[in-house]
Amino acid sequence: MALGLVLATSPVNAAPIDRSPLDPATAANPDLARHRGDPVWARLSVATLRFAEGDYSWTLIVITDPARPAGPFWFVPHDDEDAAFDAGFQGLTTYGGRLVAVANGGRRALSAAHGGGAGCVHPCDPNRDFGPRGPLYSATVLGLMAPGQPAVGLHTNAPGSVGHGGRGSIFADPADVARIFASPTAAGAFANGDTMAIVAGRAPKALAHPPCVDTLNAGGVHVAYEQVSGPPDASGDGSLSNHLALEDRDPPRTYVGLEARHGDAASEIAMIDLLMTCPAFAASR
């Protein structure tokens, strides 16, 4: 189609996916509305993808910079994390690539239309539905990535060690050497425990060499490591990070998750600017 959206060929893509252009000047979507006056829209392509999977109706907002397609894949699965969208939009307009955000009326989890059925578990967390739980969703999101395109997952969380659910591990204690690649120079928001990067891989942390850890640590950002196990093309907990870590690719796709406190787009953008100096990302631009 004219907007440059190319979905990977896959049997599940035989299911109907509605692709519609979206005008950011008039779209009712609050994430887009917050940036309505930005002149950068003139060079961006915007579309929505809508499809049903089991009892769930998915809407993805896809924003592409056609002039800089080699930039990162920016992914915002949680529609209640506005600062994550804002940081991703800033990342897209600064570094190019493609932003994909799940639109869900400002809510985090999808609710089932009919109270049961296939697709993700109930309620549906859009970052737990990759792999066998959501094959169409999974294929659609991954099909929007270019081969070799590095990915950035953007999230925000509540202050403190409880975080906002999920793994319950969205907190960086620099003394937690079993899990955290700690930065010796973390300061300000980067030292609040809620502002951090997360990477996943198959190897134990002691043997792992995830991309960009050195860059992030040198810039004051703690990096949490999650060891993921499972057969190739399993999906771990169904998050994009787990799915990509277990994907049967060599080398694995570069993926870094970024977390800041709810509302703190500035810290998330600061981490993006740092991450883009990492060779695995700088090479994509």
Binding interface with Zn ion (CB under 5 A): 78, 81, 155
| Closest approach of Zn ion to the CB of residue 69, in Å | 26
Helices and strands per DSSP (H, E), number in the chain: 7, 10
Q: Which among 126, 180, 130 is positioned nearest to 154, based on CA atoms?
A: 126
* Whole-angstrom distance, CA of residue 211 vs CA of residue 43: 31
CA 275 from centre of chain: 14
Q: Name the residue among 167, 147, 171 with its Cα closest to residue 251.
A: 147
Q: Considering the complex, state which of residue 80 and residue 273 has its C-beta at the smaller distance from Zn ion.
A: 80
Would you say 17 or 103 has its CB closer to Zn ion?
103
Minimum Å distance from CB 251 to Zn ion? 26
d(CA 177, CA 205): 9
Whichever of 155 and 222 has its CB closer to Zn ion, that residue is 155
The least distance separating Zn ion from the CB of residue 185, rounded to whole angstroms, comes to 26
198 or 223: CB nearest Zn ion = 198
The least distance separating Zn ion from the CB of residue 33, rounded to whole angstroms, comes to 20
Token pair recorded at residue 36: 């309505």
Of 186 and 240, the one with the shorter C-beta distance to Zn ion is 240
Which residue in the shown chain puts its C-beta closest to Zn ion?
155
Minimum CB separation from Zn ion for residue 240, in Å? 11
Contacts of 78 (CB under 8 A, 6+ apart): 84, 102, 108, 126, 127, 155
With respect to Zn ion, which residue has the nearer C-beta, 65 or 171? 171
Residue 242 C-beta: closest distance to Zn ion, Å: 14
Count CB-CB contacts under 10 A for residue 280.
17
b/e map of 206-215 (b: 16 or more CB within 10 Å)?
eebebbbbeb
